[in-house]
Amino acid sequence: MSDFQFYTKLDQTILLGKKANNIPELLDGIRSVPDSCIYYHTHRFLQQHHYLSPEPPNDFAYWVTQVLNDDVLGEQLSSVDIIQFQSIAELRSRFVSLIHAHITTVEKGGDCPRGEEFHFVACRTFALPTPYIARTLAEFKDALERVSVNALYYHIFDAKLRLERGENDFSKWFNGIGKPDLAEEVRNLDPYSHTLEGLRKRIIVMVSRHDTN
């Protein structure tokens, strides 16, 4: 198994110039925007508010609840358990089916106040290698203490859902160095219910427990 190269990632925010005034327009947008836009709106709070726990919901749920005052749909959208999805396409389809069902069974509701439209935004991600490379669990733990939360974010969130690698990069490497139990423990974490610093600490504790050398 090769060494573990820690990458970090930095995002550029792209304005799509597309907006929604009401729930049908939100649905239309969610259906047509690029994957990176769905990813942005379901992960922005995690990155921008990564110190908050429990963190605010995804952008769609936040807008529907706070601006359109539709608590029912807002709750449904905020309850989408992102960790169960393996791709953005699956995640998108879940939002589409929830909103579509809501529109067909409940009255459509009105437009948002002027100036509070939902603006669709996407992201471009730039991944770059950091100077941190681990050959052993001890080195891994040491590096994980030093890298930025962006690196943690890349290997846990981007790797699984956006890059569709099936699982997070850490578990994959732990398996490769003969630590399947550690891999399983990290795989079973719900990263969406931790702050990023909290997640970092949890993983460091797990690694320390398995580092018997």
Partner 1 sequence: MIRIESYAPVVGEATIEELYLLAKHVHGKVIQNINSTAVGGGVAEILTRMIPLLKQLGVDARWDIIRGNEKFFVTTKKFHNGLHGVPVEISDEEYESFLEVNRENADEIGFGDIVFVHDPQPIALIEKRKDFGRNWIWRCHIDFSRPDPRIWKFLEQFIVMYDAAVFSAPAFARNLPIPQVLISPSIDPLSAKNVELPEETINGVFERFGIDRSRPVITQISRFDYLKDPLGVIKAYKIAKKRVDMQLVLAGSGATDDPEGPVIMHQVKEEADKDKDIFVLFLPPASDVEINALQRGSTVILQKSLKEGFGLTVSEALWKAKPTIAGAVGGIPLQITHKHSGILTHSIEGTAYWIKQLVNEPDYARKLGVNGREHIKNNFLITRHIKDYLLLFISLFHKDDMVYL
Question: Least distance from C-beta 47 to partner 1, angstroms?
Answer: 8
Helices marked H in the chain: 23-32, 35-48, 59-66, 71-78, 88-105, 137-146, 149-153, 169-176, 180-188, 196-210
Site membership for partner 1, residue 113 (CB under 8 A) = yes
When the beta carbons of 8 and 22 are compared against partner 1, the nearer one is 8
Phi (first) and psi of residue 58, to 5 degrees? -65, 165
Q: Report the distance separating Cα 55 and Cα 77, nearest Å.
A: 14
Per CB under 8 A, contacts with partner 1 among 62-81 are 62, 66
Query: How many of the other CB atoms lie within 10 Å of CB of 19?
Result: 13
Among 5, 14, 76, 175, binds partner 1 (CB under 8 A): 14
- Total chain residues near partner 1 (CB under 8 A): 44
User: Which residue in the set 100, 163, 165, 202 belongs to the binding site for partner 1 (CB under 8 A)?
Assistant: 163
Residue 5 in the binding site for partner 1 (CB under 8 A)? no
3-class DSSP assignment, residue 141: helix
In this structure, what are the phi and psi dihedrals at residue 137, rounded to the nearest 5 degrees?
-65, -35
Q: Which of 2, 15, 105, 178 binds partner 1 (CB under 8 A)?
A: 15
Whether the CB-CB separation of 59 and 41 falls below 8 Å is answered with: yes
Does 192 participate in binding partner 1 (rule CB under 8 A)? no
Positions that interact with partner 1 (CB under 8 A): 8, 10-17, 34-36, 45, 48-52, 56, 62, 66, 113, 115-117, 119, 121-128, 130-131, 146-151, 162-163
